[in-house]
Amino acid sequence: MRAALYRKYRPALFSDVSGQGHVTRTLMNAIEMGRVSHAYLFCGVRGVGKTSVARIFSKAVDCLNLKKGEPCDECEMCLDFKAGRALDLIEIDAASNRGIDEIRDLREKIKFAPNKAKYKVFIIDEVHMLTKEAFNALLKTLEEPPAHAIFILATTEAHKVPETIISRCQRFDFQKIGLKTIADHLESIASKENFEFDKKALEIIAAESGGSFRDAISLLDQVSSFNNGKISLEEARLIVGHIDLEIITGFVWFLVQGKTKDALDLIEKLVEDGRDVMQFIKNTTVFLRSAMLYKFTKKQSELFSKESLERIANALSEKEIIDMVQDIANVEKQARVTSIPQLPLEIAVIKFTLPEGREIQQKGSKKNETSAGKESVASAGDKWEEFLLEVKAENHSVHALLRAAQPELSSKELKLHFQYQFHKERVEDNKNKLILEKAASKVYGQPLKVKCVILAGGAKITKEKPEVNLENQLLEIFEGEIIS
């Protein structure tokens, strides 16, 4: 039976481990100087090398011909480790051996001296899964360990390990692996396996791995099996469910421009094409987060181009981009618990591209007058539609917000009455106000300042023209017609 690629290319030496130099260098120096601790705690997400480094460390401490902290991989002890017959290496999966009885059995084994090696090494994987009683039993051993015993505890959830255990170990935090490092590693493996590959396909696999070498190599194995060792861009996208970055950035740009129908059509097409909506939501969240970080820190992303991040960051105010990230992040949670995964995303699109919380009047409902009065509405309303079109040419999002505003015109000022604080704050952004003042001065033929206020006494917005109702809005968004 053919060995899985992630097992075939598992690191055998410290020098084979990528992306964890801070860990391997420290361990190699400790071994070379004879300053090996009795207990170590390896923390980090899955697939970053915790167990592999633990095994290399176990081999190194018992190697007969150590070379600057590296095992020779040729002596009797190293060969035993490679063949899986090292009696002094004991690996325990805490997920399936989590009780106090298993730890008591372990304590009995610790008492016995090593069979052939200098040290008896115990690797406990997923140590956070141990019960409280098991941790207490392990603590006793860590407090008074025999000289020949070394413990290596590995976990993906360090916060679940008791402080009493952590304080008795040397802790090493394994980092997520960078996109380029993973892609280079995949290219090396693909070349050794004589695969025909597209570098862009390897980058897609690396991006979908979540910073995990093991996941990346497993995906490479899966994609390469699809077409007998040929790895094309389209096949990689198909197998891993990858969605083009152009689609993601285009979708976010629709939101920024207030293009409700375009955004909803894109979601519908993804569903029709059988694409993974959850993956799309996740990738959109990652992109928006990257754009937010770029806006505040100018930090660039390995996944997205500077131009795409800059475009979104410049188009949104600080508050807008934070709100958008929060909205999409909440969509991801909601989509997991609904039978129609795209529904929360569609709702978020409509909320973001149309003025949030806008009052939609039903046919025949009573209309409340605003504190601004009909006379002021008429004076401002003479050229209100022209003003809206002028603003729309500059910024679609601001135009959408103004549809929920009540204008009041004076000789020096255009006052905009809003029912909701959310609308007022977004329009008051300095960049947006400049757009409004420029448009107002042009349309009304005189220099005007724009002032935003909240309607007094909770009054609702009315206008001289008929209110837009729910039916009309839906017909406009979906370009439909009433058939019955």
Task: Strand 149-155: give its sheet, edge to edge.
Answer: 89-93, 120-125, 149-155, 39-43, 170-173
Task: List Cβ<8 Å contacts ≥24 apart for 243-246.
Answer: 243/270, 243/275, 243/276, 243/279, 243/280, 243/283, 245/287, 245/303, 245/304, 245/308
- Judge whether 397 and 435 are in contact, CB under 8 Å: no
pLDDT tens digits along 403-421: 778 888 877 788 888 887 8
Helices (H) and strands (E) in the chain, counts: 23, 10
pLDDT (mean) for 278-285: 88
DSSP letter at 70 equals B
Amino acid making up residue 150: I
Residue 380 has pLDDT above 80, yes or no: no
pLDDT category at 483 given cuts 50, 70, 90 is: low
Overall fold of domain 373-470: GMP Synthetase; Chain A, domain 3 (3.30.300)
DSSP 86-131: -TTEEEEETTTS-SHHHHHHHHHHHHSPPSSSS-EEEEEETGGGS-
pLDDT category at 265 given cuts 50, 70, 90 is: very high
Residue 479 has pLDDT above 70, yes or no: no
pLDDT (mean) for 446-475: 62
The residue among 401 and 151 whose pLDDT is bigger is 151
- Judge whether 341 and 277 are in contact, CB under 8 Å: yes
Q: Give the model's pLDDT for residue 354.
A: 75
pLDDT tens digits along 125-137: 999 999 888 898 8
pLDDT category at 264 given cuts 50, 70, 90 is: very high
Residue in this structure with the two tokens 């070394």, named with its chain if needed: 150
Q: What is the CATH number of domain 245-353?
A: 1.20.272.10
CB proximity list for 84: less than 8 A, separation 6 or greater: none
pLDDT category at 179 given cuts 50, 70, 90 is: confident
Amino acid making up residue 330: N
Instruction: Domain ranges for the chain, please list them.
Output: 5-173, 179-240, 245-353, 373-470
Residue 30 has pLDDT above 90, yes or no: yes
Q: Give the model's pLDDT for residue 365.
A: 38
pLDDT category at 481 given cuts 50, 70, 90 is: low
pLDDT tens digits along 320-366: 889 888 888 888 888 888 888 899 899 889 888 876 433 333 333 33
Residue 52 has pLDDT above 90, yes or no: yes
When mean pLDDT is compared over 195-199, 370-374, 467-471, the highest value belongs to 195-199
How many whole angstroms separate alpha carbon 405 and alpha carbon 408? Answer: 10
Kindly state the tokens that stand for 270. Answer: 């993804």
pLDDT (mean) for 250-270: 90
Q: What is the mean pLDDT of the chain?
A: 83
Q: Give the model's pLDDT for residue 33.
A: 92
pLDDT category at 121 given cuts 50, 70, 90 is: very high
Overall fold of domain 179-240: Helicase, Ruva Protein; domain 3 (1.10.8)
Torsion of CA 275, 278, 282, 283, to 10 degrees: 0
Specify the range with the lowest mean pLDDT, choosing from 2-16, 41-55, 361-375. Answer: 361-375
Specify the range with the lowest mean pLDDT, choosing from 236-240, 365-369, 456-460. Answer: 365-369
Q: Give the model's pLDDT for residue 460.
A: 52
Amino acid making up residue 155: T
Q: Give the model's pLDDT for residue 144.
A: 84
pLDDT category at 381 given cuts 50, 70, 90 is: low
Q: Give the model's pLDDT for residue 189.
A: 92
Identify the three-state secondary structure at position 260: helix
CATH class of 5-173: alpha beta
How much is the pTM? Answer: 0.61
Q: Give the model's pLDDT for residue 426.
A: 83
Instruction: Establish whether domains 5-173 and 245-353 are of one fold.
Output: no
Q: Give the model's pLDDT for residue 466.
A: 42
pLDDT (mean) for 207-213: 83
